[in-house]
Amino acid sequence: MFKQKLLIGLALAVSLVFAGTAYAQTLKIGLKSEPSSMDPHYHNLTPNNMMALYVFDRLILQDSKQNLKPGLAVSWKNVDDLTWEFKLRSGVKWHDGSDFTADDVAFTIGRAPNVPNSPSSLGRYIKQVTGVEVVDALTIRMKTAKPFPLMPTYMSTFGIISKKTGSGATTADYNSGKAMNGTGPFKSVEWVPGDRIVYKRNENYWGNKPEWSDIIVKPLSNNSSRVAALLAGDVDMIDFVPTADIETLKKNDKVSISQTVSNRVIYLHIDTARDKSPFVTDINGKPMDKNPLKDLRVRKAISKAINRKGIVEKVMEGVAIPAGQLLPDGFFAISPNLKVEPYDPEGAKALLKEAGWGDGFGLTIQGPNNRYVNDAKIVQAIAQMLTRIGIKTKVDTMPKNVFFPRGSKLEFSLMLVGWGAGSGEPSSPLGSLLHTYDKSKGFGSSNRGRFSNAELDAALEEALATVDRKKHGDLLIKATEIGINNLGIIPLHFQVNTWATRKGLKYDARTDEQTLAVGVKTAN
Amino acid sequence: MQSGLVLLVMSLLVFVGVFAIGNPVDILINPDADQAEIERAIKALGLDKPMWEQYWIFLVNALQGDLGRSFVFNIPALQLIWQRMPATLELAAFAMFLAIFMGLPLGMIAGLKPGSWIGRTIMTGSILGFSLPTFWVGLMMILLFAVYLGWLPASGRGETVDLFGVPVSFLTLNGLSHLLLPAINLALFKLSLTIRLARAGTREAMLMDYVKFAKAKGLSNARVILVHVFKNIMIPVVTVLGLELGNVIAFSVVTETIFAWPGMGKLIIDSINVLDRPVIVAYLLMTVTMFIVINLVVDVIYSLLDPRVRLGDLKS
């Protein structure tokens, strides 16, 4: 009797050991930010869009360098200037076992822009679609009012949901898991807000099957805690490794680092529009009726006064790349003519003198202190550099929840901001930051310096209506060159995205800052 | 009546304060959004109306028990807070438990033997507990126990089991191991406070006539200390710890952030970061209510501990 019990106990112990090896296929990820919902269309913001990708495929996917690749659509083309046709992948099953068809795509197009109470909707990427035509079960056509070259890019921004499950489903149904029926590489298991998100591998996935049978995502917003959790083995991988810790982690033989340049440019926005700018003073700090920032030579002087290499090496600890335009090399429509402005304080002083500001003037630079990597320190460094050429610069940093509303109300003269091009091409920063502020056309919504140049506007608008890819790209390059040469913004550097994993894992580092479990592999 | 007024003033202050900081849509929206989309979002969240009207709508709904929906999560603010409350209450209760059951004996020992090495060691320890900043101690504890020694996990809540429908983690080993570090971190300050209060109370009580009388009566030392002294030092301890309990529940922000503990403290700090006004207002209103209730409970415990309070009530 006793022996029998012992045997059973032994068997149990053995099965536990095997359970242990299966457990090794679990990937635990510690992330800086947490999504506000599981609904793929509720909140159009990176943490939400990223987590949605685990469960919901898109028509078109972006690879780790943001090049478009087939997703649920295997091919796409212009039937005519105003019609895009998408051929859909056959044999794709929803997690509940039903077939994926064009009706699901049409249903998604109708739902995604219209989620009730959405604080940021996907309408931006869908409103160009004036009509949807389901040709057959695996072919769908989308009509536009104008030629629309960005259609494939925009179709890579939102997840496709099932018509069957999605009909009548609310955001709450997605949060509870009831409506979480996708075609993606992982099935949703549970979401405990603030604590964890759990996924299971979709064994019937149409694409490359991920290595991990189970995924646990933990929100770890504090930088030091996130690093500690990795070192303690609580998680296998973390995103947004603080720059100060990267060198130490590189020396740690239990940790690997994966890095790539980001699509996020850090830049200065300048009040180029008003004659009287709120934070421009004379050299003695008295308010002034003239705004020297309107003068291109003064802006040029500011750009020359900034030691980008110094900022990258000293402030960013080498984890950034000096910038001369809106997106780093390797992206679509990069100008070959734009170079990083060299550090030239003497040239800057000469330019100031030429512009009639040889005695200098006073200025305040504003920036956030909890939004971008080392943001407040960069602002301080720039203020010192500007003061050195005679522009007496004060520093004012604030939390992002104060900074952005004030910036949008045009309360600043010179500010540090960042822009991540989610679309992976320059029309997004051109349209939002450099095109003339134009409410009716929907341009310039983040143009906080109100830069305005008719030539740039024309080039960009033409580009956005040119379907020919080569011509489209050339026009974007032209618009970029006008904007940068006129210093509508002053680019500083591109961030470098850094992930840390436990030794033995490798992450296919993404330019768009997203952490996707499908990109994590065991390195052999 | 008074409490109602406090709540009203509180809600108005927070409302105006958050309104003055700025428009949450500027932070919540995707930077890619155009002006039409920004306007749509402002309208969807009801932020297009003038401030007084927004406040009026809030008041009318609040009287019906609806404190508004979170801008970020689109979930009723109260429901959001209830979701996170068990985690915080558990952490707070465990921390207070540590503080009281370690603090009282240590404080009494220090009070009984003030000059001895043990008494001095305890007092020095309590000074450290007072003066070291919580976030630093927390990080050092993670570094020591999680990273170097690997005994305990660095963050998160771990396994939970449902107790009367509420998820708790102290009943599983895994959950308990997650709970230990944050609870100690949170308890450290209260522990030091309890030690000091207990020590001061003990020293004072030992000189009192009733202690001398009890000793003269021939009662054992243990009975004198555990019954007579103990009861008398409890009054200041209960008062202060009562209020501290409120603090631990409502503002354990630092500990919860460092240990990624999914409680209310983390919720409020995240909500402030994105100006999620309904959650901020609901949270602070709830906090005020909680403090009012705690004060009431403390008063009741007083009268249980000290017969004089009850007599005083009768006379007046």
pLDDT digits (tens, 9 = 90+) for A191-238: 988 889 999 999 999 999 899 999 999 999 889 889 999 999 999 999
Q: Note the pLDDT of residue A136.
A: 94
- The closest alpha carbon to A361, from A419, A262, A293, A453, belongs to A293
Q: What is the DSSP letter of B246?
A: H
Backbone dihedral region for residue B71 (phi beyond 0: left; psi -120 to 50: alpha; all else: beta): alpha
Q: Closest Cα partner for A60 from A95, A123, A98, A105?
A: A105
Please tell me the distance from the alpha carbon of residue A465 to that of residue A478, in angstroms, as a whole number.
15
Mind telling me how many Å the CA of A13 is from chain B's nearest CA? Answer: 19
Tokens matching residue A311 = 């900022």
Question: Quick check: is B69 in a domain?
Answer: no
Residue B34, SS3 per DSSP: coil
Asked whether residue B68 is domain-assigned, the answer is no
- Indicate the SS3 state at residue A140: strand
Residue A17: CB atoms within 10 A of its CB come to 9
Domain with B195 in it: what CATH number?
1.10.3720.10
Residue B87 lies inside a defined structural domain of this protein: yes
What is the distance between the alpha carbons of residues A285 and A282, in angstroms, rounded to a whole number? Answer: 5
- A157 touches A58 (CB < 8 A): yes
Domain-located, residue B6: yes
Search chain A and give the residue with CA nearest B36.
A442
Q: Which residues of B touch A117 (CB under 8 A)?
A: 44-45, 69, 74
Phi, psi of A212 (to 5 degrees): -100, 130
- Residue A19 confidence (pLDDT): 42
Nearest residue of A to residue B275, measured between CA atoms: A401
Q: Which of A42, A46, A117 to mutate to test the interface with B (most CBs of B within 10 A)?
A: A117
Q: Is residue B76 part of a domain?
A: no
Beta-bridge partners for A361: A391
pLDDT of residue B310: 66
What pLDDT score was predicted for residue B312? 55
* Nearest Cα residue in chain B from A432: B32
First to last CA, chain A: 48
Rounded-to-integer distance, Cα B11 and Cα B9, Å: 6
User: Is there a single domain that holds both residue B142 and residue B196?
Assistant: yes
Above 60 in pLDDT, residue B235?
yes
pLDDT confidence band for B118 (50 / 70 / 90): confident
Are the beta carbons of A237 and A508 closer than 8 angstroms?
Answer: no
Read off the tokens for A400.
């992002």
Last residue of a domain, one of B11, B33, B62: B62
Find, among A230, A301, A235, A281, the residue nearest to A28 by Cα. A235
What radius of gyration, in Å, describes the C-alpha atoms of chain B?
A: 24
pLDDT in tens, B242-292: 888 888 887 788 888 888 888 888 888 888 888 898 999 999 888 888 888
Q: Looking at chain A, how many residues does it have?
A: 524
Q: How many other C-beta atoms are found inside a 10 Å radius of the C-beta of residue B40?
A: 19
DSSP state of A43: B
Instruction: Name the residue of chain A whose CA is nearest to B178's CA.
Output: A234
Q: Which residues pair with A85 in a beta bridge?
A: A77, A141
Does one domain contain both B87 and B236? yes
Work out whether strand A414-420 and strand A361-368 pair parallel, antiparallel, or are unpaired: parallel
- B127 and B269 inside one domain: yes
Decide if A222 and B35 are in contact by the 8 Å CB cutoff. Answer: no
Check: CB of residue A324 under 8 Å from CB of residue A241: no
CB pairs under 8 A between A and B: 169
Residue B307 sits in the same domain as residue B204: yes
Are A276 and A413 in contact, with CB atoms under 8 Å apart? Answer: no
Tell me the percentage of chain B whose pLDDT exceeds 90: 3
Q: Where are the alpha helices (DSSP H) in chain B?
A: 2-21, 25-28, 35-44, 51-63, 77-112, 117-131, 134-141, 173-206, 209-216, 221-223, 230-250, 253-258, 264-273, 277-305, 307-315
- What are the C-alpha distances in Å from A292 to residues A281, A385, A427, A450, B289? 10, 18, 29, 15, 55
3-class DSSP string for A74-116: EEEEEEECCEEEEEECCCCECCCCCECCHHHHHHHHHHHHHCC
Output the pLDDT for position A471.
Answer: 94
**How far is it, in rounded angstroms, from Cα B24 to Cα B316?**
53
Q: Is A139 exposed, middle or buried (0-12, 13-18, 19+ CB in 10 A)?
A: middle
In A, residues 336-395, which contact B (CB 8 Å cutoff)? 370
B154 touches chain A (CB under 8 A): yes
The answer to whether A479 and A425 have CB atoms below 8 angstroms apart is no
Tokens of B155: 């963050």
Cross-chain residue pair B21–A224, CB shorter than 8 Å: no
Tokens 């005519």 belong to residue = A80
Residue B71 lies in a domain: no
Determine which of A198, A436, A445, A448 to mutate to test the interface with B (most B C-beta atoms within 10 Å).
A445
Q: Any chain B CB within 8 A of the CB of A171?
A: yes
Q: Is B32 close to A196, i.e. CB distance below 8 A?
A: no
3-state secondary structure of B47: coil
Are B22 and B88 in the same domain?
no
Q: Burial code of A273-301, b = ≥16 C-beta within 10 A, e = fewer?
A: beeebebbbbeeeeebeebbbbbebbbbb
In this structure, the answer to whether residues B126 and B239 fall within a common structural domain is yes
Indicate the Cα dihedral angle A87, A93, A94, A95, nearest 10°.
Answer: -150
Same domain? For B117 and B249 the reply is: yes
Q: What is the pLDDT of residue B313?
A: 54
Mark whether B233 and B90 lie in a shared domain.
yes
Phi, psi dihedral angles at A492 (to 5 degrees): -110, -65
Banded pLDDT at B9 (limits 50, 70, 90): confident
Look at residue B311 in the predicted model and tell me its pLDDT: 56
- Phi/psi at A69 (5° precision): -145, 155
Contact: A445, B155; criterion CB under 8 Å: no
The answer to whether residue B72 sits within a structural domain is: no
> Could you tell me if A244 lies within 8 Å of chain B, comparing CB atoms?
no
> Which residue has better confidence, B239 or A491?
A491
Rounded CA-CA distance A260/A331 in Å is 13
pLDDT, average across residues B30-54: 85
CB A509 within 8 Å of CB A263 = no
Residues B44 and B95 in one domain: no
Q: Over the range A433-450, which residues count as b (16 or more CB within 10 Å of their CB) and which as e?
A: bbbbbbeeebbbbbbbbb
Quick check: B22 and A402 in contact, CB under 8 A?
Answer: yes
- Give alpha helix (H) positions in A332-374: 345-354
d(CA A522, CA B242): 52
Residue B74 burial (10 A CB sphere; 0-12, 13-18, 19+): buried
Task: Please give the model's pTM, rounded to 2 decimal places.
Answer: 0.85
| Chain A nearest-CA residue for B167 | A192
Rounded to whole angstroms, the Cα distance separating A163 from A467 reads 31
| Same domain (yes/no): B19, B102 | no
Burial class (CB in 10 A: 0-12, 13-18, 19+), A142: buried
Domain housing B19: 2-62
Min Cα distance A140 → chain B (Å) is 26
Backbone angles phi, psi at A439, to 5 degrees: -65, -40
The predicted model gives B197-207 an average pLDDT of 85
Same-domain pairing of B166 and B256 = yes
Q: In terms of Cα–Cα distance, which of A325, A397, A318, A330 is closest to A364?
A: A397
Establish if A45 touches chain B: CB-CB under 8 angstroms: yes
Q: Is B22 in Cβ contact with A117 (below 8 Å)?
A: no
Specify which residues A118 forms β-bridges with.
none
Asked if residue B251 and residue B119 are part of one domain, the reply reads yes
Distance (Å) from the C-alpha of residue B313 to the closest C-alpha of chain A?
A: 47
Specify the residue for token string 């919860």. Answer: B256
Kindly list the strands in the beta sheet with A139-144, ordered across the sheet, starting from the edge strand earlier in the chain: A73-80, A83-88, A139-144, A129-136
Q: Which two tokens stand for residue B296?
A: 């009431």
Number of folded domains that form chain B: 2
Mean pLDDT score of chain A: 91
> Which residues does A454 contact at the CB level (< 8 Å), separation at least 6?
A436
Per-residue pLDDT of chain A (524 residues; tens, 9 = 90+): 444 554 455 444 444 444 444 445 899 999 999 999 999 999 998 999 999 999 999 999 999 999 999 999 999 999 999 999 999 999 999 999 999 999 999 999 999 999 988 888 998 899 999 999 999 999 999 999 999 999 999 999 999 999 999 999 999 999 999 999 999 999 999 998 888 999 999 999 999 989 999 999 999 988 988 999 999 999 999 999 999 899 999 999 999 999 999 999 999 999 999 999 999 999 988 888 899 999 999 999 999 999 999 999 999 999 999 999 999 998 999 999 999 999 999 999 999 999 999 999 999 999 999 899 999 999 999 999 999 999 999 999 999 889 998 999 999 999 999 999 988 899 999 999 999 999 898 899 999 999 999 999 999 999 999 989 999 999 999 999 999 999 999 999 999 999 999 999 999 999 999 999 999 999 76
Residue B67 lies in a domain: no
Report DSSP state, residue A294: G
pLDDT of B124 strictly over 60: yes
